[in-house]
């Protein structure tokens, strides 16, 4: 909110200096202000976990990230981090390799499910073997201490973008699952045949229905799933992992 107020104040001062309305300059100003406000709000809506047993390093990293506009939480041990509540917003983890309770690579394995947070390793104990293992397991970056500010911020941006994309995919899939669950059991039987390219007559023969009934069910599937075309319905079925039936 403070950034929005600053942008408005900047605008009022700028307009006061212009003797006559200058539409191109006003438009250019608003474009710049909008990008600035969006960037700052985007950072403020993100959360970064810092897991490092060295309190000086942990506090320095948190201070650096907060000065860049991010919200942070620091943890001395992996257990404390794993047991903590996670905010429902784009997030990532800055993770040390050597921790007092669990090795950072083992923490990465515990976070390796589809909902896991992207990891940026920042360590003073790195070696080629650990780096390769971390990157193969999906780490965004493997950085050595002392880490350079711009290098770290670049990795954070990539990690948060990954998490935003993963969240968008999960939200889309959850919405499609809700739509799929609104289908009747018979419509759920018809769907794999439709996306496999079965004609209504073939589907009717396969399921023991009439062609008219199958045509109605097909229309209901399109409507309930919100698909505007067969191609879109196929993409939806693929996202839900619905196996297609082989045509006769």
How many angstroms separate the CA atoms of 120 and 135, rounded?
A: 10
Q: If residue 91 lies in a helix (H) or strand (E), which one and from where to where?
A: strand 91-95
pLDDT band at 38 (very low <50, low <70, confident <90, very high): very low
Q: Which is higher by pLDDT, 198 or 248?
A: 198
Q: Please write the tens of the pLDDT for every residue from 132-150.
A: 999 999 999 999 999 999 9
Smallest CA-to-CA distance from 74 within 89, 90, 96, 107 is with: 96
Residues 141 and 228 in one domain: no
Residues 57 and 100 in one domain: yes
How many angstroms separate the CA atoms of 87 and 71, rounded?
A: 11
Q: Please write the tens of the pLDDT for every residue from 101-117.
A: 989 999 999 887 656 89
Residues 115 and 142 in one domain: yes
DSSP string, 170-192: HHHHHHHHHHHHTS-HHHHHHHH
pLDDT at residue 248, rounded to an integer: 61
33 has pLDDT over 90: no
Q: Tokens 């104990």 correspond to what residue?
A: 125
Mean pLDDT computed over every residue of the chain: 85
Residues 97 and 136 in one domain: yes
DSSP string, 35-52: HHHHHHHHHHT-EEEEE-
**pLDDT over 70, % of the chain:** 80
Query: Residue 131 is part of a domain; what is its CATH number?
Result: 3.40.50.2300
How many angstroms separate the CA atoms of 72 and 99, rounded?
A: 19
pLDDT band at 216 (very low <50, low <70, confident <90, very high): very high
Q: Which two tokens stand for residue 221?
A: 């599937």
- What single DSSP character describes residue 241? T
pLDDT at residue 111, rounded to an integer: 86
Counting the structural domains of the chain, the total is 3
- What single DSSP character describes residue 147? P
Range of the domain at 152: 45-168
């Amino acid at each position: 909110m403070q950034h929005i107020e600053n942008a408005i104040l900047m605008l009022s001062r700028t307009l006061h200096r212009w003797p006559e309305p200058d539409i191109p300059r006003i438009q250019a100003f608003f474009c710049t202000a909008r990008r600035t406000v969006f960037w700052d709000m985007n950072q403020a809506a993100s959360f970064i976990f810092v897991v490092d047993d060295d309190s000086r390093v942990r506090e320095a990293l948190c201070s650096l990230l907060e000065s860049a506009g991010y919200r942070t939480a620091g943890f001395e041990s992996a257990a404390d981090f794993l047991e903590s509540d996670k905010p429902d917003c784009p997030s990532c983890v800055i993770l040390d390799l050597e921790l007092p309770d669990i090795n950072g690579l083992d923490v990465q394995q515990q976070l390796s499910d589809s909902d896991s947070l992207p990891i940026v390793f920042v360590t003073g104990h790195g070696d080629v073997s650990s780096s390769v293992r971390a990157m193969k397991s999906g780490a965004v970056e493997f950085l050595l201490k002392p880490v350079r500010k711009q290098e770290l911020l670049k990795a954070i941006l990539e990690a948060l973008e990954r998490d935003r994309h993963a969240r968008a995919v999960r939200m889309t899939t959850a919405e499609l699952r809700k739509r799929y669950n609104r289908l009747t059991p018979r419509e759920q039987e018809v769907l794999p045949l439709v996306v496999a390219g079965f004609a209504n007559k073939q589907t009717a023969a396969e399921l023991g229905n009439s062609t008219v009934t199958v045509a109605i069910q097909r229309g209901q599937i399109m409507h309930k799933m919100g698909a505007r075309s067969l191609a879109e319905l196929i993409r939806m079925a693929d996202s839900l992992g619905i196996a297609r039936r082989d045509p006769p």
